[in-house]
Structure 1
Amino acid sequence: MTQESPSSEERRPDRAALVIAAVIAILAAVIVYSTATAHGGSATRIGPSAFPYTIAGCLFVLAIWTAFEAMRGDFPEREEQEIQPVIWVIGGLAAQMLLLHITGFAIATALLFAATARAFGKGPLWMTIPIGIVLSFIVWVIFAKGLQLSLPAGPLERLI
């Protein structure tokens, strides 16, 4: 007399993981195609094209592994996705891209910082925006003045 436990029932293939495996395999194929059709390079056997082929090979192995695990149904159950934090982060990225050349690096990046903090449930906007401005301004000074790299300057950066 055998009794089957509820956990021993047959698990179905994880369709989301199969889609992820397919996307990884397509990415590997694109890298191989792009590297194979690129002009130039060197005549040596190990040259600049060796690294993209290595990355593509690793991605292809990862795609096979992911597909195998998806067919076995070994991925854990996923939690329900909350859309509001994703919208905050995407909104912060959009604000930064749209305002970068208008307000400068410090203010635009501060808005991204504040939106991301809000997405993670940390602090109110009235507090995270000034913190983001200070941190972003410090980063701008290090990169623009210390390393002599060109970052978009706005009214705040023009004070220096």
Structure 2
Amino acid sequence: MSRGDSPSVETRRPDRAALIIAVVLAAIAGLIFWDVSRLAGLAGYSQVGPTTVPYAIACCLIVLAIWTAIEGFRGDFAEREPQQLGPVAWIVGGLAAQMLLLNTLGFSIATGVLFAMTARGFGKRQLWLTMPFGIVASFVVWTIFAKVLQLSLPAGPLERLLF
């Protein structure tokens, strides 16, 4: 067997998506480290203070970023299905609608719209059914948080009508 006849070694290319994810994880960890460094004077009398958990989260994110980068360079990630933009657009649109409607229509209706659009993104096509269900479920959540727990959530016409 000559030198040119040897079996070819499969060369793996680095997974660019995994490397981008690793960079984003490291950037978030860096942002947390920077933000927590401004709170360093608040430790008080104990070693455990308001900086402990954010530091732990940032350290975990750094470990995940390194792990993801290693796996990305090795090319060990499973083959991914192509991304479908339609469902993502429905969910992002639902989030945008909720943010825009929250102060005018209140928590229940805005979150009901988010629920219906997210359900549509996951394949449920009956908006006429999911919208009222989402509004009722959101109203129950609003009632528990606003009336029972006395937390402040935006009230709209539905909440003002019933309370």
1:5-154 to structure 2, matched below 5 A, reads 9-38=10-39, 40-43=41-44, 44-154=46-156
- Compute the TM-score of the two structures, normalised by the length of structure 2: 0.88
* Identical residues among aligned pairs (%): 61
Deviation per CA, 1:71-129: give whole Å up to 9, x if none: 11000111100001111111111111111111111111110010001000114111111
The 8 Å contact of residues 40 and 51 in structure 2, kept in 1 or not, is answered as no
1:66: Cα distance to partner? 0.7
Segments of 5+ residues of structure 2 without an aligned counterpart are none
Deviation per CA, 1:37-90: give whole Å up to 9, x if none: 336302444433222222211111111111111111000111100001111111
Deviation per CA, 1:120-158: give whole Å up to 9, x if none: 011411111111111111111111111111111111111
Segments of 5+ residues of structure 1 without an aligned counterpart are none
Choose the corresponding residue for 1:158, options 154, 157, 160. Answer: 160
CA distance in 2, matches of 1:158, 1:135: 17
CA distance in 2, matches of 1:105, 1:47: 34
The 8 Å contact of residues 108 and 135 in structure 2, kept in 1 or not, is answered as yes
CA distance in 2, matches of 1:110, 1:84: 20
Q: CA RMSD in A?
A: 1.9
CA distance in 2, matches of 1:124, 1:99: 21
- Compute the TM-score of the two structures, normalised by the length of structure 1: 0.89
The 8 Å contact of residues 113 and 131 in structure 2, kept in 1 or not, is answered as yes
